[in-house]
Chains A and B, each alone.
Chain A
Amino acid sequence: MTVRNLIAVGGRPSTTAPTLSPGGVNDRRSFRWTDLTVYIGFVLVFAFFALTTADKGFLTVQNATSIVTAVTPIALMAFGAVFVLTAGEIDLSIGSVVALSALVTALGLRHFGLVGGVVCGLAIGVGTGLLNGLLIVGLRVPSFLITLGTMQLFSGIAQMSTQLQDVPILNPTYNTLFGSGMVGPVSDAVVWLLAGFVVAQIAYRNLAFGWRVMATGSDRRSARALGINTRRVRVAVMLISSLTAALAGMIYAGEVQGAVYTLGSNDLLTVLAGVVIGGTSLFGGTGSIFGALLGAILMAMIVNGLVLMGATVQQQIVVQGIIIVVAVAVSQRQPAE
């Protein structure tokens, strides 16, 4: 039984976690192999590269660090995107928020020091998220259209903020905390990745908020009938999305030790692909944080493996495209009408 069915029969959203299902929130639903797409895809891709590029360094700790470093900002944005898509919305502005938060953080560090820089970056996340959310519910315009506009708006502001110049970050504490430090043999980005996963997973699966998001995305009218403030939920998911994008921008800035307006500009498709492959529905109502994590790692692993194999840019793009088509065709296939 899905959330949609629960609501349709008058069931009240519960704070209790439903039965785990890779495809999202399902309760004793019949098993479908397609729900395992991301797991099977992950194992197959990993096995393929482990076999073909083991002698080229694929299975080394250094390479794992490289993958984690590349995947952390993408995965954080993917967690936010799970909330947004589950609520039946979409956020196209995340790439622009990445650049804006990175630049504002770098400028904040320059003028106000460590705390000021971090606060500035997070403030961008809160501000852009609230703007997106309030415009969507206030103007009653689809999130696709609003965030299409704010994507341009935020990007333009990012470009104007420094007249296109990049801003170096020399604050060693910031750089160490946000991606350039080490935890044992691996990048401290792994801490952000794990912390982001745990927080998102709890919020999505164990708190009432997660249920409200699913209910809103499943059937907004029924959700309202159950007393859920769907407007507030929709604003909240846009806020979460922007906050994760802002955090991703701050981690990019720490990793590169600088910020430039092009940061994150190509991340949107990668994030959406990872989330959708991970089992989150583009139609709202269901999703999976763990699936998004695996989907994001899968995307990064494909690039990493192909680079180690010496594939050309064109081959990388084609292979990525094929894998996405196959994965999406399996995981997102709709029932026959």
Chain B
Amino acid sequence: MIHRQDRSRKQSVAFGRRAALVLIGALLTTGAAQVQAGEMVGGQFALKGVVTQTVGPNGAKGEPASVLSLTDAEVQKLRGGHYSAALLFQTSSDWSNAVTEGARDEFKRLGIAVAGMSNSNYSASDQAHAVQTILAKKPSAIIVWPINPDELRPALQKAVDAGVKLALISNMPSGFQQGRDYVGLVGDDLHAMGQKTADGLAHAIGNAGDIGYLYFDANAYVVNQRDAAFRTTIERDHPKIKIVATQGFSDPQRAFQIASAMLLQHPTLKGIYVPWAEPAAGVLQAIRASHRRDVAVATMDLSNTVAVSLAQNGAVKALVIDDPYAIGKSLAAEIGYALIGKPVPAYIQVPAIPVTRTTLLQAYAQDYHAAPPPEVKQLLSK
């Protein structure tokens, strides 16, 4: 018993030392990894990149999701194939839920079983493992939202070599070729999303004045493109609007502190751009805390907190969403195309949709296929 106590004590001390090292190491390596990011990716692209249009792979022009259609005979052929497909996402979110919903509905129509799903919490290595894990179930196809496309290449190549059809969301490993390596790519109109958000904010502040720009300072293709498109539009199309405060973030929970500092240092701010709904909640908190009722917020993607602000005529004045349900449906249809050997369009692009208080319920129903929370319905009924 005494030995056990002594051993326990030693283990406890050893654990304490290890825990301290892990704590220090975790904080330092996170910083180091981010410092080593290459040029014009991540936050640097958001700061300096110019986005004036959205182009698909190899310069392909985006086609609407409506071009995808399968005849009854093709559907019957697919239903008799006993195919299966997996969905691998970057993370779990209501956006990915809506993509999943769209894909599931289409897979169900086509008789394709869902072999599995994975959320890799923005870990590229976890996503590579997820691809290998799902391959054990021998799916006919995989829908993947790549975290780091090039890091994922070896795992995806194994899937390709095994004859698995790949349908990609928004981005792909460099050098991948349609038909040989993947069946199709579906994305949103990133330029239009940034542009419409910028135009919406400009309209809300009377097309003139100072604004703050919160951008995502991490390597995330979609968000980086949208941020740069917003900034590009403001700089090119709205000469009377000045971005006087610029600050990046990688942790959405820091948005409150950043927005608070912006409001403190720039009392003339009439608006703040924030890339998506989660950090937007922190910006809204900062605006409330600083008792500024005259600051407009522009953001993208639908969340209940942002919807509440829109519904109560709060600070959110510009909200633009894509159509995640259509993205999921298109990806599943592309897989159907590939499984029966039908040529898949090079690039399917869903539109950018500005949302207002009037169109809020429509956005929930049509684009997210989700029910609005009672709080939103309550506010809209007033």
Residue numbers of A with Cβ under 8 A of B are 56-57, 60, 62-63, 65-66, 69-70, 88, 90, 110, 142, 144, 159, 163-170, 180, 187, 219-221, 255-258, 260, 262-263, 265-267, 269, 272-273, 276, 281-284, 300, 303-304, 307-308, 310, 312-314, 317-318, 320-321, 324-325, 328, 332, 334
Closest residue to A305 on the B side, CB-wise? B261
Residues of chain A within 8 A (CB-CB) of B256 are 66, 69-70, 255
**Chain B 2-24 interface 0/1 with A at a Cβ cutoff of 8 Å (1 = within):** 10010011001101110110011
The answer to whether A317 touches B20 (Cβ under 8 A) is: no
A307: contacting residue among B9, B31, B261, B376, CB under 8 A: B261
From B143-151, B172-180, B187-195, B245-253, the one touching the partner chain is: B245-253
The answer to whether B261 touches A165 (Cβ under 8 A) is: no
- Say yes or no for B94: interface residue by CB 8 A criterion: yes
Chain B min CB distance to A191 (Å): 15
13 A-B interface contacts by CB (under 8 A): A57-B264, A164-B92, A164-B97, A166-B305, A168-B307, A170-B375, A256-B281, A256-B282, A257-B284, A272-B23, A312-B43, A313-B250, A324-B23
- Say yes or no for B289: interface residue by CB 8 A criterion: yes
- Say yes or no for B288: interface residue by CB 8 A criterion: yes
The answer to whether B281 touches A258 (Cβ under 8 A) is: yes
Task: Tally B residues with Cβ within 8 Å of A.
Answer: 66
Interface residues of chain B: helix, strand, loop or mixed (majority): helix
Chain A min CB distance to B381 (Å): 13
Chain A min CB distance to B126 (Å): 14
- Say yes or no for B303: interface residue by CB 8 A criterion: yes
- Say yes or no for B366: interface residue by CB 8 A criterion: no
Residues of chain A within 8 A (CB-CB) of B5 are 220-221
The answer to whether B247 touches A310 (Cβ under 8 A) is: yes
Residue numbers of B with Cβ under 8 A of A are 2, 5, 8-9, 12-13, 15-17, 19-20, 23-24, 26-28, 30-32, 34-35, 43, 92-94, 96-97, 217-218, 247-254, 256-258, 260-261, 264-265, 277-278, 281-282, 284-286, 288-290, 303-305, 307-308, 370, 373-376, 378-379
Q: How many cross-chain pairs have Cβ atoms below 8 Å apart between A and B? A: 174
A62: contacting residue among B31, B249, B288, B290, CB under 8 A: B290
Residues of chain A within 8 A (CB-CB) of B96 are 164
Additional A-B contact list (17), CB under 8 Å, known A166-B304, A262-B252, A310-B247: A60-B264, A62-B264, A88-B12, A90-B19, A144-B15, A164-B93, A165-B303, A168-B308, A256-B284, A260-B305, A267-B253, A269-B27, A273-B27, A307-B254, A312-B217, A313-B217, A314-B35
The answer to whether B43 touches A313 (Cβ under 8 A) is: yes
Residues of chain A within 8 A (CB-CB) of B12 are 88, 283-284
The answer to whether B23 touches A269 (Cβ under 8 A) is: yes
The answer to whether B20 touches A332 (Cβ under 8 A) is: yes
The answer to whether A260 touches B248 (Cβ under 8 A) is: no
The answer to whether A281 touches B16 (Cβ under 8 A) is: yes
Residues of chain B within 8 A (CB-CB) of A169 are 375
Chain B min CB distance to A166 (Å): 5
Closest residue to A284 on the B side, CB-wise? B12
In the assembly, what is the distance between CA of A221 and CA of B1, in Å?
A: 10
In the assembly, what is the distance between CA of A168 and CA of B379, in Å?
A: 12
Residues of chain B within 8 A (CB-CB) of A303 are 254, 257
A283: contacting residue among B16, B23, B277, CB under 8 A: B16
